[in-house]
Amino acid sequence: MRYLVRHRTDYRYDAPVFDSHNEVRLRPLDTGVQRLRRFAVTTTPRARLFAYRDWLGNTVHYFHVRGGHDRLTVVAESEVEVADPERRSGPGPTVGDFRREAGALREQHHDFVVPSRRVPALPEVARLAPSLAGRPDDEPLHDVAVEAMERTRGRLAYVPRATRVDTPLEHALDLRKGVCQDLAHLGVAILRHMGIPGRYVSGYLRGPDPESEEPPGSDSGQWHEGPGPDRGAGTGEPHPPDPDDPHAFPDAPDFHEEEPAHGVATRRRRPRLRASHAWVEAYLPGRGWVALDPTHTRPIDTRYVKIAVGRDYDDVVPVKGIFRGKGKSRMRVHVDVIQLPESRPEAAEEPI
């Protein structure tokens, strides 16, 4: 599958702000099944962008707007090609393999087996985690990881807008419901309690999906107000209720005007991805990082576009920064991902 991704973030301030420093993590990753063909990020006001790879391998774009401004827009556009993940045949790693390599895994992937700020060690997680005690050595370790995701989905019901981006995992557990960010954090927490390295993945999921349809009128393009943790150090940066929610999508039509063909304007249906999503990767000995989706309890396939990985959401925030000024702000996020025809000429990949 080939997709065109446009991710637009707009900030508006009721008084000028200045000296704005920002980081953007919106460049899709190149993996064994995903190829980035083109990427560009632009800002208004115009700013010079610098790029680097963080310690997790994510591409980060940094920019600074020095002068006063009452609005800021960040637009990232990508063209990405996704292939079906290879379904390996033959025996995979077993519980016995894990027992023998647990110490080495903990040393090699220390940051993904210990708690993090958004994935704390909680008594409830310990009660939910499948026990490895008494399991036969020849039981597939992948089956145990899938069981962990099923327990995650059984414990947290997916409910759009049930939580916010800054809702602690403990609160989501108390509510017994959450958005995909909460389910991903809980899935990672369960894996880590078992000693299996687990990491958080941000990206996009193609829709519409029967589970992910919002009631009419929902629109992630709406403006949101209120203080947020990722900008302005408490100076008024807002955030959507659940920016990683795959179900908070723009209420836009599935038809897009195309270039005229032989002088006749045509309209053609192009499947859309609806919005952002989050899932989990577990590190299995001999297999590497294996993707699991606790929200839908299904394998990852060509419907998923992978953007960034981290210990938790804090490592993959799409746009974050700080600014100076006392103006209150509003933010609007609009994600538009369109499935493109398969037959397209080769495009040169942009450097980071």
Q: Identify the pLDDT of residue 328.
A: 84
Q: How confident is the model at residue 208 (pLDDT cuts 50, 70, 90)?
A: low
Closest CA to 336 of 8, 80, 2, 9: 8
User: At residue 245, does pLDDT exceed 80?
Assistant: no
Q: How confident is the model at residue 237 (pLDDT cuts 50, 70, 90)?
A: very low
CA distance 259 to 265: 7
- CA distances to 37, 222, 339 from 40, in Å: 11, 24, 18
CA distance 332 to 328: 14
Q: How confident is the model at residue 87 (pLDDT cuts 50, 70, 90)?
A: low
Q: Identify the pLDDT of residue 290.
A: 95
Q: Identify the pLDDT of residue 91.
A: 72
Q: Identify the pLDDT of residue 30.
A: 95
Q: Identify the pLDDT of residue 320.
A: 94
Q: Identify the pLDDT of residue 66.
A: 96
What residues contact 61, with CB distance under 8 A and at least 6 apart? 23, 24, 25, 26, 27, 41, 49, 50, 51
Q: Identify the pLDDT of residue 261.
A: 29
- Average pLDDT (67-90) is 88
If you average pLDDT over every residue of the chain, what do you get? 82
Q: How confident is the model at residue 209 (pLDDT cuts 50, 70, 90)?
A: very low
Domain positions in the chain: 2-340
Question: How many other CB atoms are found less than 10 A from the CB of residue 91?
Answer: 10
User: At residue 45, does pLDDT exceed 60?
Assistant: yes
Asked whether the beta carbons of 69 and 4 are under 8 A apart, the reply is: no
User: Which is more confidently placed, 221 or 264?
Assistant: 221
Q: Identify the pLDDT of residue 350.
A: 55
Q: Identify the pLDDT of residue 254.
A: 28
Give tens-digit pLDDT for 274-295: 568 999 999 999 999 999 999 9
Give tens-digit pLDDT for 178-194: 999 999 999 999 999 99
- Average pLDDT (228-257) is 34
Q: Which amino acid is at 298?
A: R
Q: Identify the pLDDT of residue 188.
A: 98
Which range of 64-78, 235-249, 258-272, 329-343 scores highest in mean pLDDT? It is 64-78
Place of tokens 């020095």: 66
Place of tokens 């991902």: 337
Pair type for strands 157-158 and 49-53: unpaired
Q: How confident is the model at residue 4 (pLDDT cuts 50, 70, 90)?
A: very high
Q: Identify the pLDDT of residue 345.
A: 52
User: At residue 342, does pLDDT exceed 90?
Assistant: no
Asked whether the beta carbons of 243 and 165 are under 8 A apart, the reply is: yes
- CA distances to 63, 190, 342, 351 from 321, in Å: 9, 31, 37, 23
CA distance 70 to 58: 30
User: At residue 40, does pLDDT exceed 60?
Assistant: yes
Q: Identify the pLDDT of residue 298.
A: 87
- Average pLDDT (267-273) is 43
Asked whether the beta carbons of 241 and 161 are under 8 A apart, the reply is: yes
Q: Which CATH architecture has domain 2-340?
A: Roll (3.10)
Q: How confident is the model at residue 352 (pLDDT cuts 50, 70, 90)?
A: low
User: Which is more confidently placed, 103 or 214?
Assistant: 103
**Residue 126 backbone phi and psi in degrees, to 5:** -60, -35
Of 27-31, 209-213, 341-345, minimum mean pLDDT range: 209-213
- Average pLDDT (314-340) is 91
Six token digits for residue 246: 């795959």
Give tens-digit pLDDT for 147-169: 999 999 999 999 999 999 999 99
Place of tokens 């897009």: 256
Q: How confident is the model at residue 349 (pLDDT cuts 50, 70, 90)?
A: low
User: At residue 102, does pLDDT exceed 80?
Assistant: yes
